[in-house]
Every structure is written in C-alpha cells, then in structure tokens.
Amino acid sequence: MNQRKVLVEGMRKAGQLNLFRGFSIGSEPIVIYHLQYADDTLCIGETSVENLWTLKAILRGFELTSGLKVNFWKSGLIGINVPSAFLSMACTFLNCRLDSIPFKYLGLPIGANPKSLSTWDPLVEHLRNRLCSWRNKHISLGGRVVMINAVLNAIPVFYLSFLKMPRKVWKKVVRIQREFLWGGVRGGNKINWVRWSVVCKEKKKGGLGVRDIRLVNISLLSKWRWRLLSPGRSLWKEVLVARYGNHIIHNVDWSGNRFPISASSWWKDICSLDKVVESKNWLVESVIRKLELRVEDVLEEDARIIFEKIWESPAPSKVIAFSWQLLYDRIPTRSNLEIRWMLITNKPWECVGCVGSVESSTHLFLHYPSALMVWYEVFRWLGVVIVIPPSLSLLFKVLRGVGRNEKIQKGFVMIWHATLWSLWKARNGSIFANGLYNPKVIVDEVKVLSWKWFVARLKVPPCL
C-alpha cells in the first residue's frame, strides 16, 4: 500500500465506522469523504467537532505510518455556510490557515463564478501578454495566424473545459486577437481589413483558419454531455445522478430537461448548451458544424474552389495570406485607404504610375500597363497564351485551367502567388523607398521566387 493510499483508506474506514461524517448528496445519498489527485487532497465533511477530531487523528496516523509530514501551513480550511466562530476554532485546532472560495484545486478556481469577469482575468491577461510580446516584431499576416492559434492552444484547456466563457470575455479575447492580426507590421494602421467571422472560417471555406475561442469552449463543455452518454460509471457521474436524477445519463434529447433552481452554475451552463447552438442534436461535431454554418457567408461556387486551392501551394504562408487578402480586395491600395479615410493628400486615390487612374487592386495587379507587361512576360515564360481577364480570381482559374496536369497546375498557382507578391513589393518599393518599378526586374523576381519555393518545398526536381 503506498503512502497516499494510507490516507484514503483511513478516511474510508473512518466513514464506515461513522467516525467521520462525509458530505452527502441527493435523496438516495452518495457520501463523499475526500477527493485526491496527485498531491492535492480534499477532505470533505459535515461541520462537527467529532469530524475535526477524526481528521486530526487520521492525519497524525498518516504521519506516523508514512514518515511524511503534513504541512499544515500549506493546508487550508474552507467553510461553506459555517459560522465563523466555529471556523476559527477549527483552524486553531488543526493548526492550519483559513481559506475561502474560490480556491484552486488542480489549477481550477473552485467556487468561482464563471459569469464574473474577474474569474477570467488571468486567462485574458495570459493571452494578452503572449500576443503583446510579439506585437512589435515583423511577422507577416500568415505568421500571425499561426501565432494566434498557437497561443490559444497554449492556454490551460481545463479552464475552457470547465467554465463557460461569458460573451463579454469572448469579445475581449477576440479584440486582442484582432488587434494582433491586423496590428500592422510597423505598428501603424489598425484597419480590420476582413470581418472576424470570415477570418475564423476554415481556409478552404474562404477564411484564414483562426480558431474561435468560443467554439473551442463550447465543444469542450459539450464533451461533458458526451461523457454522460458514454457507458461506464465514475464518481462524478454518480454525484450528478444523485443530485439531478437518473434521466441525465444515456439521454440524448435534453430539450424538455429542466434543472432545479438550486443547480450549480456549472450544471446550468451544461444544461443550456442547446440554447447556445440552437440545435437539439448537440454532439460535438454538429455543434461546430452548426456554428460554422451560421457565420458562413454564401461564397460563390467559383470563389469556393479558389479558396480551396490557394493554400495548396509551396508558396510561404505570408504570401498566400496576402493573396487571400487581395482576393477579398482588402489590401491597403490607395482606393481602399481612401474609402476608409486614411489618406489626406491631394489626389489620394490616384495611381502613382498613371495620371487620372484610380489605384484599385484590379488596376494595380491587372490593368496597370507595367503590371500587364509583367503578366505577359510571365505567360511567355510559361509558354501559355492568356488574355488578361477582368478579375484576379478569373485569372487564377484561367491560369490553373491551362495546366496539363495537377503538378503543372500547382506550379502555375505558385507563380500566380509569386507574381502578385512581387507586384505588390515593387509597388511599395516605388512609393515608400523610391525604388524603381521595372517590369523586367519584377519578372526576374517572380522567376527566382518560384524556383526557390519549388525546390525548397516540393522536394522533386523542378520541371517547369
């Protein structure tokens, strides 16, 4: 028998002999004396002097048999509906400190109100600090998506699997994530270029695949319901059945299920999950599907295919994320900035290269004479004949369409990415750094980039 078992056995035996009266739950009561996991032990019992004597005796016995010492100053006594006079007497008697709820057990704030914002402060702070430490670094849009998901993965999952996040907290978290995503590499402008609900969609559905913390929260909470459906008894299930009745296990439809007013806030949240997702079929997968459907804009079939395909490319994620932003026409072209009142110059919308033309993204990437030259030169290089279509997504389709097989199609998609990226870099260079906008140089850049990505990522000999 190991040393921890000594304590557990002691408590059980004392319970059997009625020397220690545990905490009983329900009308056909199930009695709890203690909870133990790893180094954390909770002894739970009624308020009585006999219980204190027994507890002291068991702990002393534990010390004598195991040779371990109970650190009373690391132990705390917590009373729920217990007169304070009794509590201070008990603390003196057991030689431990007086604690109160909420207290931490296994890292979870026990007795904390999930609806109170202060319960969530540590988590929100944690997220904010993690993301802020990266804020001033030069990270591309694609890289920032990775960061957001990584930070979300690193936060304590048991928090989200036990407490239901209030809308207010969720909004706070989203604001932090959004500011980080669009924070601007130079820390400057803070335009939210694409709606958050779109950003959170899967990549192949036109989003960036940012994980929504509320979805994570709801699916983790739903797992409790899933576990109630699954076979096997365990203590937590027995406690819930004793408290709320037998109907809560092996029961899929909870729509007619009412919880007592005295139910804990945790249980109320678990019971109310159906309302959150407006669905009777609440299995974890369908919860996610349902929520996704609600935020999903109806993308045209064509657009759907493009968004599915743009990510299947050996181009770096920062480049693909840029193309993604461009397809939504949400990049800081002059016309886009003017719509958002971000420019105050004389002719804020005008293309730098040609008088009187609006610098829209179609102009900049397709119809600007120098951009046209770049495209035709790239097509010549690829050995294809293409008439420039009116939009970038059409160009994507046409270019991909002329590829003879899957491999060549992927190559063409990568070159589409490389060309857009190089055009944008050249445009920025000519505006911000007095660089030259030279089609020949841009085409060379496209070739170099494509070869680099191709060789680096595909690990097959280039055949283009």
Among 357, 391, 430, 438, binds Zn ion (CB under 5 A): 357
The residues in 68-127 that bind Zn ion, with binding defined as CB under 5 A, are none
Is the CB of 151 or the CB of 351 nearer to Zn ion? Answer: 351
Q: Is 391 a residue that touches Zn ion (CB under 5 A)?
A: no
Is the CB of 353 or the CB of 403 nearer to Zn ion? Answer: 353
Three-state helix/strand/coil letters over 135-186: HCCCCCHHHHHHHHHHHHHHCCHHHHHHCCCCHHHHHHHHHHHHHHHCCCCC
Is the CB of 225 or the CB of 334 nearer to Zn ion? Answer: 334
Q: How far is the CB of 347 from Zn ion (least distance, A)?
A: 12
Q: How many CA atoms lie within 13 A of 240 on its CB side?
A: 20
Using CB under 5 A as the binding criterion, the count of chain residues that bind Zn ion stands at 5
Q: Are strands 40-43 and 34-37 parallel, antiparallel or unpaired?
A: antiparallel
**Among the candidate windows 22-30, 284-292, 361-369, 448-456, which touches Zn ion by CB under 5 A?**
361-369
Contacts of 444 (CB under 8 A, 6+ apart): none
**Among the candidate windows 148-156, 365-373, 389-397, 427-435, which touches Zn ion by CB under 5 A?**
365-373
The residues in 3-42 that bind Zn ion, with binding defined as CB under 5 A, are none
Q: Is 372 a residue that touches Zn ion (CB under 5 A)?
A: no
Q: How far is the CB of 362 from Zn ion (least distance, A)?
A: 11
DSSP string, 185-210: TTS------S-HHHHTS-GGGTS--P
Listed residue (237, 239, 228) closest to 23, CA to CA: 239
Is the CB of 437 or the CB of 454 nearer to Zn ion? Answer: 437
- Cα angle: 374, vertex 363, 208; to 5 degrees: 90
Listed residue (44, 24, 26) closest to 34, CA to CA: 44
Q: How far is the CB of 334 from Zn ion (least distance, A)?
A: 10
Q: Is 277 a residue that touches Zn ion (CB under 5 A)?
A: no
The residues in 230-249 that bind Zn ion, with binding defined as CB under 5 A, are none
- Are 170 and 213 contacting, i.e. CB atoms less than 8 angstroms apart? yes
Q: Is 365 a residue that touches Zn ion (CB under 5 A)?
A: no
Is the CB of 351 or the CB of 415 nearer to Zn ion? Answer: 351
Q: Which residue has the tokens 């009983």?
A: 24
> From CA 8, how far away is CA 15, in angstroms rounded?
11
Using Cβ positions, the residue closest to Zn ion within the complex turns out to be 351
Q: Is 423 a residue that touches Zn ion (CB under 5 A)?
A: no
Q: Is 150 a residue that touches Zn ion (CB under 5 A)?
A: no
Which positions lie near Zn ion, rule CB under 5 A? Answer: 351, 353-354, 357, 368
